[in-house]
Structure 1
Amino acid sequence: MPTPAATHRDRIETCLNGQTPDQVPVALWRHFPVDDQTPEGLAAAVIQFQNTYDFDLIKVTPASSFCVTDWGARDEWRGNPEGTREYTRQPIRFPEDWAKIRPLDPRKGSLNDQITCLRLLVAEYHHATPILQTVFSPLSQAKNLLGKQNLVAFLREFPQALHAGLEVITQTTLQFIEEAAKTGIDGIFYAVQYAQYGLLSEEEFRTFGKFYDLQVLEAVRSLWANMLHLHGEHVMFDAVQDYPLQIINWHDRSTPPTLAIAKNKFPGVVCGGLRQWDSMVLGTPRQVLEEARMAISETQGQRFILGTGCVLPITAPHGNILAARRSVLKNSTGSLGAQV
């Protein structure tokens, strides 16, 4: 009898265990502007995307405002090609404003909407495909409450006020993760945006970022497929390589370290290899295929998930997305990309 085909869950589990899967896992994710304003709309968009491309994991990407809306943040869709929304109101203007925010109940409001979305997705895929919920670090959430142009100034001028806010954000994030885990998700996609040398010193990041990150990540140890997204350029990879997650993702094609070097630093799985703009948007299917082949060769196809360094722009052509998906397939002679 033929060997049953591996499920996406099987493939990711094998990869995370350091073994060689039947084929290199591949996953791309994107924003769904307009659709992301209701839990049913976001779930339907994610399902359509996944059913079209059949990726090995589903990273759920709500608007970044989902976790700060109930503290008074507001945003709107203005056509950003990455699918992100623009903030139109950020409620923290003065240091004393931090004292006004209170922990949110994840069973109410916008947080509960996201829980509803997760329930719909888990019911759709029945645990055959891993589902990861996006969780923004407390410092990233603080930025969305303050405005990115104000965060560093607050951090240096009003550190105690910012710490008070970060404590409330962390408490709310922990409560949200607890409720999200009850839906049956497999992990979180933990977005860290300020571990960049162009923004903070290492000491500032440890004090205002890592201190709270480790509290959040302690809460997801029971989940088996957690991914760290290290956003931006000139990232502090060494400062986060000990984070207790299974997968790490960063803009590996535009900022150090390389995939090969990262595998020597980080004990888990590395995710990347494809340029989100130059290849996935502006390139051709053949260029996507060649870039995927290079990444697979660099990592020997082990402890590696093929993906982009950040969200797939919503302008990426269907043919390029399909090329990324098919780049890991093998024909009878074992060559890659036979169907592209």
Structure 2
Amino acid sequence: MSQQMTPGERVRAALRGETVDRVPFCFWHHFRPQGSGKQLAAATFEFFKTKYELDIVKIMPDLPYPEPVEGIQEVEQLRFLPRLELETPAFQEQLLCIRLLRQQLGPDYPLILTLFSPLTYLFNFMGADFTGKNLILAGARSNPAPIEKGLAIVADNLQRLMQAAIAAGASGIFFSCMGATNADFSREEYLRFGRPYDLEALKGAQAGWLNIVHIHADPSQIEDQVYFDLFTDYPVQVLSWSDRLTGPSLGEALELTDKCLMGGLWERGPLTHGSETEIENEMLGAIMQTKGHRLILANGCSIPDDVSERPLQIARRLLDQLH
């Protein structure tokens, strides 16, 4: 294909498994918007559009879902998580960010809002790093009722936010799910504590055309295996995971799902510190595994915020040479 596509045309073609002029490309890290949707919109536009001209603009979760004011010390407290309306300040700032970016990007530029799964938010409420996750894992096995109640409340809140985000101009939701690995829940446990609440939240994104589930494996847990097959029937168009960190490979995943795949680049690898040859080899490897079909070339998870611009600039320059 010789005619150059717009980002919207390119991404839509990739979702349908059609030929593209080049693979869609995206990478991301976090920003510090100080609670301001306006500041986050400005930083997002400058990074994704002005500086790197990426095919998808991804609003990072830097205006976070509000944690309970008094903090959560015990699993039993999860029964009483608040029901949040769209007037919640953090939600209003996210919606403002979407509207501002849509005004700047025009009607068809792919724009996604990053949100976490209900289970991921509960992990975060209970403590940083692995502390919260371990408390939820233990609680789910010994006292599941308050956890299930809390999950249901968060799923309901997210459903309303997703619906409003699509109405405000988002093309879809980037939905990041923790806990679906063999280092965390068993498959049966994720089917109980993860999947039902994921699906309830995602009902709010039904009107989106670019919904993405990210199956998260922590970079420090290199031996993790994600339960990829548990997500292949989720109501989304794209599956994202750290394929360079954990299985399946891109080539294997093509046989497991008819959805578009998002990945190919290791978030702690050549994209952040590699030579031009190393970056090119990783990009080519991803394209060769998929023959460039049903692929959005991207990092498996967020790259470090302090990464040098040099490898990112190299990757973006190489992109136009890779067909």
TM-score, length-normalised on structure 1?
0.87
**Does 2:89 match 1:109?**
yes
- The aligned counterpart of 2:124 is 144
8 Å CA contact 1:16–1:268 kept in 2: the answer is yes
- The aligned counterpart of 1:86 is none
Q: 1: CA distance between counterparts of 2:144 and 2:17?
A: 41
The one of 233, 239, 246 aligned to 1:248: 239
- The aligned counterpart of 1:279 is 270
- The aligned counterpart of 2:55 is 56
8 Å CA contact 1:280–1:316 kept in 2: the answer is no
8 Å CA contact 2:215–2:226 kept in 1: the answer is yes
**Does 2:170 match 1:173?**
no
The one of 263, 282, 285 aligned to 2:254: 263
After superposition, residues 53-202 of structure 1 pair within 5 angstroms as 53-63=52-62, 66-69=64-67, 71-72=68-69, 91-147=71-127, 148=132, 149-202=134-187
1:221: Cα distance to partner?
2.3
Identity of aligned residues (%): 30
1:36: Cα distance to partner?
5.0
Q: 1: CA distance between counterparts of 2:317 and 2:251?
A: 23
Deviations 1:22-80 (A, max 9, x none): 11111111101x325311111111011021000111111023x61133x227xxxxxxx
Aligned-residue CA RMSD in angstroms? 1.7
Q: 2: CA distance between counterparts of 1:128 and 1:36?
A: 28
Distance 1:156 1:37, change over 3 A: same
Equivalent pairs, count: 310
1:283: Cα distance to partner?
1.2
Aligned AA for 1:43? A
Deviations 1:207-253 (A, max 9, x none): 00001111122332221111111110311111112212111111101
Q: 2: CA distance between counterparts of 1:326 and 1:26?
A: 11
Q: 2: CA distance between counterparts of 1:285 and 1:129?
A: 29
8 Å CA contact 2:35–2:90 kept in 1: the answer is no
**Does 2:29 match 1:44?**
no
Aligned AA for 1:23? R
Structure 2: gaps spanning 5 or more residues:
218-223
SS at match of 2:155: helix
TM-score, length-normalised on structure 2?
0.91
- The aligned counterpart of 1:234 is 225
Aligned AA for 1:66? P
